[in-house]
Structure 1
Amino acid sequence: MDLLGMLANKPRLLALGEPTHLENDLLRLRNKVFRQLVEDEGYRTITLESDCLMGLVVDDYVTSGVGDLDDVMANGFSHEWGGLAGNRELVQWMREFNEGRVDPVRFAGFDGPLETAGPASPRPVLTTLHTYLANWLDADLLPCTSDALDDLLGSDERWINPATMMDPTQSIGQTANAERLQQIAGELAVLVDTETPYLIAASSREDWQRARLYARTATGLLRYHYWMADQSDRRIARLLAQRDSMMAANLLDLVDRGPTLVFAHNSHLQREKSSMNMAGANHEWWSAGALVNAHLGEQYAFFATALGTMRHREVDTPPADTIEGVLYAQDQQLIDPRTLTGPLQPRVSPWFGYAALDPAHLPSIDGIVFVKDIKPA
């Protein structure tokens, strides 16, 4: 399937979206696309909608063989996605491809450490960043000692309290200690940037790049905790926007490695504004794709995946006047959105976990990948 053949230029970031999660048919299609991009087009990185810090475990394995495959699948993915066969097959192929190579393919997560139940404690990322800088810089350059940092962080249970998801008064994200931690994270991030020449020479470029990842994640995670404590009617929209902002920052950093394939939900990769009905209100925010597109322009390309049926989820044959209905009748796998003309209606999904394509978004989609029938995972 020649996605790049539909584009005038080879993008630095090629986005392949999916309309639902947890379906191996979609993951195996993604794997096929990535293999073709690697072997024929020189792509060397794939990044998934998974925890960016956990993804380092997968990257170490596929590049250097560090660890055991079962442990990597258990500890290298968030949202329990390590249990999906399609993801395991991707990791296995990447490790086999890299054996004996000097130009390995790389793996990355680009989501924040934000599981469904709530955000992670900032302790691991802040202490790792502080330790890295303390190993190479004079102590008087650091904003605090490790003991002071530990005291400010306090108990992890307070940070990961699941009650904060529905009750902002339970969050500690706007306490005096949290605000001081935001300041410290910002100062540590500045040190990573201002001491770049020395840090690369003293440690390595790879270690410095990881420090930048920890710095971005620390500042972003503390901002997410800040909005967890917000009691205004904009709280949900701010949380959604903060998550996608963290995603976009990671994507923009990854493209410096070279041409990259990103795989995530369509809603995170689209150029249009995203929206969600939650807690009795409609919330809007700019997706990671929209943010990245604003920076990269034509160096960003977005292919949305659409599906016909997913009968195990009660998603049956699509109505003929929807995007999916037209594609179901044509039975093509790769479609130019400009060929879909005439009045089209939005498809209404009977299952909350599937989002059909919005006809109003067609002008901002570079291509549609259509899967006619999804079989149970």
Structure 2
Amino acid sequence: MESAILDSGRPFEGAAITQLLRSFPAPPRLLGLGEPTHGEEAFLRRRNEAFRHLVEHEGYRSIAIESDCLAALVVDAYVTEGAGTLDDVMRRGFSHGLGGSAANRELVAWMREHNRHRPAAERIRFFGFDGPIELAGPASPRPALAGLHGYLAAHLDVPPLDTIDRLLGDDSRWTNPDATMDPTRSVGRSPDAAELRLVADDLVALLMAESPHLIAATSRAAWWRACLFGRTATGLLRYHAGMADTSPSRVVRLMRLRDTMMAENLLALTPHHGPALVYAHNRHLQRDRSVWQTAGWQGGDLLLEWWSAGAIVAAQLGGEYAFIASTAGAAAPPDTLEGVLHAALPHDGYLIDSKRLAEALKGVELAPRTDTSSGYFALEPGQVDTTDGILFLNDLPPAD
């Protein structure tokens, strides 16, 4: 068995990436690369290696990561046009604390250098595909609505911005951290929020209805950016409404809404900015249904199930979406998937062909790895054949 497992992969390097891509039925427009936990620099640096190879040898044009889609516009302006400074970009251009990552800083710096002397049509792009949603809750929809309204108002007759400002009120209504645990503290189902959803929906409809005029008057890129503002505004207003839900389905509804926002942003990339590397947690990029067993959440235990962004994208793109999951052998029990890989693979990093690995593991009974106390979510044994590849690291360096 160990020799068959060894034959299923190659040490992680550019040639291994190319070989795996050539094994797919069709070249993917979106190539998902997952991580089993957030903040582990070893996985982020492998991501950087993969992206450099994909750009230099496979024609990839962009990367999208699990970060605020609006904040990421700051990063994209820096890597494409040199706007701002690297320090400021790392501070303002990322959500979820990702701007503090050394590997993310290295990625942004490399992208800027790659683009520095290239014409605009040949520059690679940076995107976030998450909504403006932190652990404390969603952001105010004001920036997204203002961006959408400003674009439309420059070319069409639209309701005045004062109307939107009146309905929004103070941003603290929308960012109240108490609403994360107490739905009655959320503004998301107030009369003002309900009216705002109608206003946002009308503006998005106008953006599409007048797209021939708007694209001709501005540019396809400017119209695409306005669409991003529109998706974000309507997505945030839906999410705020979910925050105000007092039913038992509140938590799973919020999970579903977030992954839907992610999927919509990814699907919007494919006609204009692909092929693209997508980097996020395995659970967001997987093809199967997400399952989360909570203990003591809001006074009870819940079994939550919803479709991940990857599952939504895969259903719509078919073979134009591929998913490489990542996992590690560090501290894995020997009867788990990671433990078996750890015993069979001598090098630090491997890129494994999932189909060949699934064949090698036929008849092998593997135990699930259930310890998620450190935020590490291992692959389930049955998930191997739902992936197209696995990036396996034998060991992880100790945290500084």
CA drift of 1:51 comes to: 0.2
- Looking at structure 1, the residues matched to 372 and 135 of structure 2 have their Cα atoms a distance apart, in angstroms, of 22
Match of 1:131 in 2: 150
- Looking at structure 2, the residues matched to 41 and 128 of structure 1 have their Cα atoms a distance apart, in angstroms, of 34
* SS of 1:290 mapped into structure 2: helix
Matched, 1:97 2:114: yes
- Paired residues in the alignment total 366
- Looking at structure 2, the residues matched to 343 and 217 of structure 1 have their Cα atoms a distance apart, in angstroms, of 44
Deviations 1:26-85 (A, max 9, x none): 100000000000000000100000000000000000001011000000000001101100
- Looking at structure 1, the residues matched to 392 and 23 of structure 2 have their Cα atoms a distance apart, in angstroms, of 15
Deviations 1:132-182 (A, max 9, x none): 111111x2xx2x321111100011101000000000000010111101100
Question: Which of 344, 353, 356 is the matching residue for 1:330?
Answer: 344
Matched, 1:177 2:192: yes
Matched, 1:357 2:379: yes
- Looking at structure 2, the residues matched to 124 and 336 of structure 1 have their Cα atoms a distance apart, in angstroms, of 43
Question: Which of 318, 343, 359 is the matching residue for 2:365?
Answer: 343
TM-score, normalising length: structure 1 = 0.95
Match of 2:4 in 1: none
Match of 1:263 in 2: 279
Match of 2:334 in 1: 320
Match of 1:312 in 2: none
- Looking at structure 1, the residues matched to 374 and 49 of structure 2 have their Cα atoms a distance apart, in angstroms, of 27
Tell me if structure 1 keeps the 8 A contact 2:138–2:239.
yes
Superposition RMSD on alpha carbons, in Å?
1.1
- Looking at structure 1, the residues matched to 320 and 79 of structure 2 have their Cα atoms a distance apart, in angstroms, of 27
Question: Which of 111, 118, 130 is the matching residue for 2:137?
Answer: 118
Residue 270 and residue 174 in structure 1: after superposition, are their counterparts in 2 closer, same or farther (change >3 A)? Answer: same
Match of 1:247 in 2: 262
Deviations 1:282-328 (A, max 9, x none): 1111000000000000111000001111xxxxxx2x11211101110
Match of 1:168 in 2: 183
- Looking at structure 2, the residues matched to 83 and 59 of structure 1 have their Cα atoms a distance apart, in angstroms, of 17
Tell me if structure 2 keeps the 8 A contact 1:6–1:367.
no
Question: Which of 283, 288, 301 is the matching residue for 2:304?
Answer: 283
- Looking at structure 2, the residues matched to 323 and 46 of structure 1 have their Cα atoms a distance apart, in angstroms, of 29
- Looking at structure 1, the residues matched to 24 and 148 of structure 2 have their Cα atoms a distance apart, in angstroms, of 40
Deviations 1:74-106 (A, max 9, x none): 000001101100000000100011111120010
Match of 2:162 in 1: 147
Question: Which of 308, 317, 331 is the matching residue for 1:296?
Answer: 317
Match of 1:211 in 2: 226
Match of 2:390 in 1: 368
Deviations 1:315-354 (A, max 9, x none): x2x1121110111011261222323331111112252410
AA partner of residue 114 (structure 2): F
- Looking at structure 1, the residues matched to 372 and 239 of structure 2 have their Cα atoms a distance apart, in angstroms, of 32
- Looking at structure 1, the residues matched to 376 and 53 of structure 2 have their Cα atoms a distance apart, in angstroms, of 27
The runs of 5 or more residues in structure 1 that have no matched partner are: 310-315
Question: Which of 104, 107, 128 is the matching residue for 2:126?
Answer: 107
Question: Which of 179, 195, 217 is the matching residue for 2:210?
Answer: 195
- Looking at structure 1, the residues matched to 113 and 23 of structure 2 have their Cα atoms a distance apart, in angstroms, of 30
